[in-house]
Amino acid sequence: MSEAQTPPPEAPPPLVTRAEELLDRLGQRFTETRKRVSASLEQQAQAAQQQSGDGAAPAARAEEIIDRVGHRIGFFGVLAGHQLRKFAARVREEAEDMLAEAQTARQHPAAPTGEPNPAAHPPTEPQ
């Protein structure tokens, strides 16, 4: 095949690109949250070491630390659940968009020349 006959490389569909971007952002948020949790736990450990000289019983100090860590984990669990629900809603919306686009493409196939059918994508009016 000559260079003139080589088909251009296909770009990923816009919906796939958007889904990949959403997953990348989710991964970044997860990493940021993990770093914040680690930093918080380190701060609590340092605070516990500083308080160890006050004469409190070791069991009481350990119980207090465990309680604080439990509250923090619960908070981050709620935060992660909220982020997961938002992500699921976005994925569901993208899936609905893909389904609508597929149905539109099926109802209005491309012209024999390969040009898209203008009826398949009616112009939208500005809102």
Question: Which of 92, 121, 91 lies closest to 104, judged by CA?
Answer: 121
pTM over 0.75: no
Instruction: Tell me: pLDDT of 55 over 80.
Output: no
Backbone torsion region of residue 114, taken as left when φ is above 0, otherwise alpha when ψ lies between -120 and 50, otherwise beta = left
Comparing 16-25, 39-48, 50-59, 98-107, the range with the smallest average pLDDT is 50-59
**16 residue type, one letter:** V
CA–CA distance from 33 to each of 20, 42, 61, 99 (Å)?
Answer: 20, 14, 26, 33
Amino acid identity of residue 61, one-letter, is R
The structure tokens listed for 79 are 């935060």
pLDDT above 80: residue 102? yes
Give the best-scoring range by mean pLDDT among 5-9, 74-78, 114-118. 74-78
For a pLDDT cut of 70, what percent of the chain falls above it? 71
The answer to whether 25 touches 64, Cβ cutoff 8 Å, is: no
Judged against a pLDDT cut of 70, whether residue 104 lies above it is answered with yes
